[in-house]
């Protein structure tokens, strides 16, 4: 009697939750300037994003549960698709915030974009080297956000295609095995 492959062995999980439909990216924005917070929030909302805005790197870490005051319980369901942070902030800079995010297993895959009003090449290089998805010069424009969003959605689309391709391969593999077992 052939050994029937039960579904749970196949790792065919339906987790495409990073895509969701419609494409509502959840962005965490960090900026110490009240004017810029208002501005970036509106920019993102107009670009069909869900937005959470905080006024410091410390608060961002609190929001993500990375401030050492929490266990990771309760934060696995937090779906953030993008973090946009100002570079120059009192206390912890956006650069330091990004490093902390990249150190965390839960959030290191989330793209981090750094914003700055200062066009300092060594700074830009350092941010990109540390893993920043992009570096935006302030004042940020609608076109910048649109470009970001499009490239993130494209990356998601690629990831989705890869998942589907993988499933196809797995399905073919199972089919071959069943054939060989002469079912």
Stretch that binds other proteins, among 37-45, 61-69, 98-106, 158-166 (CB under 8 A): 37-45
CB of residue 109 vs other proteins: minimum separation in angstroms?
A: 30
Stretch near other proteins under the rule CB under 8 A, chosen from 27-35, 57-65, 71-79, 153-161: 27-35
Among 4, 46, 120, 164, binds other proteins (CB under 8 A): 46
* 76 contacts 104 by C-beta, under 8 angstroms: no
Binding status of residue 16 toward other proteins by CB under 8 A: no
**Which chain residues interact with other proteins by CB under 8 A?**
33-36, 38-39, 42-43, 46, 88, 90, 117, 138-139, 141-142
């Amino acid at each position: 009697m052939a050994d029937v492959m039960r579904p749970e062995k196949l790792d065919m999980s339906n987790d495409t939750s990073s895509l969701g439909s419609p494409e509502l990216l959840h962005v965490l924005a960090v900026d110490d300037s009240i004017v810029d917070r208002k501005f970036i929030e509106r920019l993102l909302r107009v670009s069909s994003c869900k937005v959470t805005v905080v006024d410091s790197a410390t608060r961002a870490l609190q929001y993500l549960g990375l401030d050492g005051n929490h266990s990771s319980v309760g934060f696995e369901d937090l779906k953030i698709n993008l973090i946009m942070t100002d570079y120059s902030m009192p206390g912890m800079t956006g650069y330091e915030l990004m490093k902390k995010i990249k150190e965390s297993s839960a959030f290191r895959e989330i793209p981090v974009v750094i914003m700055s009003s200062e066009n300092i090449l060594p700074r830009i290089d350092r941010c990109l080297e540390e893993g920043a998805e992009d570096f935006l010069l302030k004042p940020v424009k609608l076109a910048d956000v649109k470009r970001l969003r499009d490239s993130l959605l494209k990356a998601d689309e690629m990831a989705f295609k890869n998942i589907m391709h993988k499933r196809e391969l797995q399905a073919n593999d199972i089919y071959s095995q069943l054939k060989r077992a002469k079912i």
